[in-house]
Chain A
Amino acid sequence: MSRSDDIWILGIHMTKFGKHPNLDVVDLGAQAIQGALADAGVTMADIGILAAGNLLGSGSIAQQLQKQVGQTGIPAYNVSNACATGATALRTAIMAVKAGEVDMGLAVGVEKLAGAGLLGAGGRAKADESEWARNGRFGAVGPVDGRIGTESMPGVFAQIGMEYGHKYGGTSFELFAKISEKNHGHSTLNPLAAYNKAMSLDQIMNDVMIAYPNTRPMCSANCDGAAAAVVVNGEKLKTLSLEQQRRAVKVSASILTSDPWQEACQVLPDVNTLTRNAANQAYEQAGVGPNDLDLVELHDCFATAELVHYDNLMLCEEGGAVDFFESGAPYRDGRLPVNVSGGLQSKGHPISATGIANIWEVCQHVRGEAGDRQIEGAKVGLAHVIGLASACGIHILERSAA
């Protein structure tokens, strides 16, 4: 079955997403790690490297977590890559295993975000200057956020969706709201989602407008959560139990890209090119194409973002994202279900956990362990994250042949 340099997910765990007022980031991260170790059937003694991410905390989360779960002296990496932090932590562990330095690695991402306000808006209210003074890369005499466009995430991603509509046509406020309606509907089957209630199109469209065309339920939900994964090489996996081999999920592709230069990227982050590049590399590495996928968890940080990623991940023809959605394909009973977990809009988006939590979701399905929301017969799935600045992580996961 497995080649010695293949990479496998041996164990993976996601905590309940939502509010955890009595748990801090260390408690939550430790819960995810212990869950992943138990799922893998190994202990910290087996782990050769730890990579951990937590964007909003005090730093050194990897070492803090070791002190909770097992302080074995292994190399510990603290990684930070915006919303792609979790995927970057996993990729760090995978690279160490792939390089042959260790045969088992652990990655974890954790965030406490419940009750956090608007993210990504750097515009601090500035005290009036006695005389104008220039600051920053544009030599501005005051904050540019709100005066020269927006730095808020909802506004940035709104423009990204609108730009797609300008280029290809067919988009509308209602279309974007329907994408959100789909994901809120999906999360009713996910007990670990931060929000489990379906929302009607009317409810979504009439909720508080954050940045047109994204209303509040069309934005990723701030919440607490953590996710962790144990990865192992094929050679080591062969020495483990048949049950461990049967439940192991093959990492057919593990890709991280950054955004290459493009004419407009200095005024609006280009989340398209790096996703398309990552998808091309991932499909080639895995030897599969979009038509082979049974489900996709993509980075729907806003309803407007989900639309463009149908196209970027080549789930449809170029320019065909609106038709793809309207065909019903990305619904859980459609041809290619997208975000059956509820996605970031409903499952929630504890930033650093997201890039492992989406892989956990795909693993649940290809292992046949997704319960009520199981996509029947799922063998291959893709997990995608975007961190603005920008970073894109894509993993393709396949059911074990054992």
Chain B
Amino acid sequence: MSTATQIPFVEYLVLEPEPHLVAQECTSCGARYFDRRNACAGCFATDFTPVEIATEGTLRAFSIVTFAAPGVAVPFVAAVIDCGGTSVRANIINCPPDPEHVSLGMKVRLATTVVGTDAAGVEAVNYGFEPA
């Protein structure tokens, strides 16, 4: 698969060589952030280094959202996943959105999905987590 025609949906998603998330880790206390910070919210230090986040994890919380803002496709499963000690927010994908198929504590792994193609033919690729 070529990266020339694909871009990640968010900057903290890296598609190559295998899709994974990258956080900015505080070099002082180890706190991890998916967005840019002026200082660490936990310890106020100002140096960060990029770290790869585990692509497998455990479902710690979820909601099956059936009523959302205009433009948001429903239903979808919103979730918090514990990826080796780092909490990640994502949708649960490749899985029926019902309480029979989604359960607390279930093992999940990162997966990608194309959300759209722009006028230049570039695909935006998002991440989610699927049952492992």
Is the pair A266, B34 in contact by a Cβ cutoff of 8 Å?
yes
Is the pair A138, B35 in contact by a Cβ cutoff of 8 Å?
yes
Q: Which 5 A-B pairs have the closest CB atoms?
A: A125-B71, A139-B11, A146-B72, A158-B63, A121-B69
What distance in Å separates the Cβ of A160 from its nearest Cβ neighbour in chain B? 7
CB neighbors of A among B70-120 (8 A): 70-74, 76, 78-80, 85-91, 99, 104-105, 115-116, 118-120
Q: Which residues of A contact B (CB under 8 A)?
A: 118, 121-126, 128-132, 134, 137-152, 154-156, 158-160, 162-163, 165-166, 173, 208-214, 261, 263-264, 266-268
Is the pair B72, A212 in contact by a Cβ cutoff of 8 Å?
no
Is the pair A138, B122 in contact by a Cβ cutoff of 8 Å?
no
- Cα A162 to Cα B36 with chains together (Å): 29
Chain A positions within 8 Å of B120 at CB level = 131
- Cα A163 to Cα B62 with chains together (Å): 8
Residue of A130, A141, A143, A173 near B71 (CB, 8 A) is: A143
**Dominant secondary structure of chain A at its interface with chain B:** loop
Asked if B49 CB lies within 8 Å of chain A CBs, one says no
Chain B positions within 8 Å of A264 at CB level = 80, 87
Chain B positions within 8 Å of A131 at CB level = 118-120, 122
Chain A positions within 8 Å of B10 at CB level = 138-141, 144, 148
Which residue of chain B is the closest to A219 with respect to CB atoms? B67
Chain B positions within 8 Å of A209 at CB level = 64, 66-67
Which residue of chain B is the closest to A304 with respect to CB atoms? B63
Chain B positions within 8 Å of A208 at CB level = 67
Is the pair B70, A125 in contact by a Cβ cutoff of 8 Å?
yes
Which residue of chain A is the closest to B80 with respect to CB atoms? A268
Residue of A123, A141, A152, A160 near B7 (CB, 8 A) is: A141
- Cα A209 to Cα B64 with chains together (Å): 9
Asked if B33 CB lies within 8 Å of chain A CBs, one says yes
Is the pair A138, B70 in contact by a Cβ cutoff of 8 Å?
no
Is the pair B63, A212 in contact by a Cβ cutoff of 8 Å?
yes
- Cα A214 to Cα B124 with chains together (Å): 32
Asked if B4 CB lies within 8 Å of chain A CBs, one says no
What distance in Å separates the Cβ of B80 from its nearest Cβ neighbour in chain A? 5
| Most B C-beta atoms less than 10 A away, residue of A140, A149, A212 | A149
What distance in Å separates the Cβ of B16 from its nearest Cβ neighbour in chain A? 17
Q: Which residues of B contact A (CB under 8 A)?
A: 7, 9-12, 31-36, 41-42, 59-74, 76, 78-80, 85-91, 99, 104-105, 115-116, 118-120, 122, 124, 126-127
Chain B positions within 8 Å of A128 at CB level = 116, 118
- Cα A140 to Cα B126 with chains together (Å): 10
Residue of B61, B67, B79 near A118 (CB, 8 A) is: B67
- Cα A266 to Cα B89 with chains together (Å): 9
Chain B positions within 8 Å of A132 at CB level = 7, 118, 122, 124
Which residue of chain B is the closest to A141 with respect to CB atoms? B124
Is the pair A145, B67 in contact by a Cβ cutoff of 8 Å?
no
- Cα A239 to Cα B46 with chains together (Å): 55
Chain A positions within 8 Å of B34 at CB level = 138, 266-267
Given contacts A140-B10, A142-B115, contact A149 B90 (CB under 8 A): yes
- Cα A173 to Cα B67 with chains together (Å): 17
Given contacts A159-B62, A209-B66, contact A146 B88 (CB under 8 A): no
Chain B positions within 8 Å of A124 at CB level = 69-71
- Cα A123 to Cα B63 with chains together (Å): 17
Chain B positions within 8 Å of A125 at CB level = 70-71
Which residue of chain B is the closest to A164 with respect to CB atoms? B61
A-B contact pairs, 12 of them (CB 8 A): A118-B68, A131-B119, A140-B9, A145-B72, A146-B73, A148-B91, A173-B99, A209-B67, A210-B65, A263-B31, A263-B86, A266-B87
